[in-house]
Structure 1
């Protein structure tokens, strides 16, 4: 390999840490409490081209990195592990392209089953990142499940549903 991978690709391959010195497998192993209250990891697990207001440290997904995701099935598999970590955090489970609520999902208490909040922004990012990283089927499966579960309960705001329904588009 003549050229060095970008910090994002190196992180995703487990070869380098993020800006805080965390390796990807260490992030995957963190508690749901940590995942809820820490705000600078989701940008590494689900990169998008835009930079957020509060996360100038975050890698921005480039066209070159998108091409690498397209060409490297092992990298896409790594991102599916990130997806499963976040699904578990959201009280969901995945079997291939089928995403369902875990039997233990307490609809009235769950952190994302509310009108809005930072987990809604995380969900939008996850859908968008999966679509951009050549995991379009996973992006659509995630989108469908979250809209279905969110609207069944009548809790999630229309604004969030609208964001999620658009998130997979280029």
Structure 2
């Protein structure tokens, strides 16, 4: 293992900031309003190998980082904190690897239950990132929860459901 962690690993360990000078603990503490309206943090919390057209600032998840996540349980634990922050934002809650709806979940306040929107892409990213960072059970739990809750309590499009199902495949 290299002595100099990559920017992504250093960020996750709380040793460095993201491209905007934010530490991971700062992001975890931000409001749901901020999480909804800011678009350049999710790539740091849930990295994937692809870089989107609009987020060239974002770190790519390489095999190097995947290996570190595999070897470092403290890092996986920190990603579970990131997951819990986003679950709270989405009106969901986690107990171990069981993800359920909070009693307060509703279509008015939790817009991911509607047809489209950037939160559907965020959910796909979170599922994929968890799977790639050796948190497969959580990736599957989230996928199962959003597919079930999105169809039972929401009006999520078939396309989004399909993305969430696909997101888990390597």
Higher mean displacement: 11-20 or 103-112: 103-112
Partner of 1:163: 163
Partner of 2:32: 32
Maintained 8 Å contact 2:113/2:154: no
Partner of 2:68: 68
Q: CA deviation at 1:113?
A: 0.6
Distance 2:65 2:96 in 1: 24
Q: CA deviation at 1:106?
A: 1.7
When the two chains are superposed, the root-mean-square deviation of aligned CA atoms in Å is 1.1
Distance 2:159 2:70 in 1: 31
TM-score by length of structure 1 reads 0.97
Higher mean displacement: 62-71 or 150-159: 150-159
CA displacement 1:5-41 (0-9 Å, x = unmatched): 0000000000000000000000000000000000000
Distance 2:115 2:83 in 1: 22
Q: CA deviation at 1:154?
A: 4.9
Distance 1:11 1:46 in 2: 12
Aligned partner of residue 17 in structure 1, secondary structure: coil
Q: CA deviation at 1:108?
A: 4.1
Q: Which structure 2 residues correspond to residues 19-168 of structure 1 after superposition, within 5 A? A: 19-168=19-168
Distance 2:86 2:133 in 1: 17
Runs of 5+ unmatched residues, structure 1: none
Higher mean displacement: 19-28 or 102-111: 102-111
Distance 1:43 1:72 in 2: 20
Q: In 2 relative to 1, CA 92–22 (structure 1 residues): closer, same or farther, beyond 3 Å?
A: same
Count, aligned residues: 170
Aligned partner of residue 99 in structure 1, secondary structure: strand
Maintained 8 Å contact 2:107/2:114: no
Maintained 8 Å contact 2:124/2:164: yes
Maintained 8 Å contact 2:107/2:154: no
Q: CA deviation at 1:109?
A: 3.7
Distance 1:95 1:86 in 2: 14
Q: CA deviation at 1:105?
A: 1.1
Aligned partner of residue 100 in structure 1, secondary structure: strand
TM-score by length of structure 2 reads 0.97
Distance 1:30 1:2 in 2: 32
Q: Which structure 2 residues correspond to residues 11-26 of structure 1 after superposition, within 5 A? A: 11-26=11-26
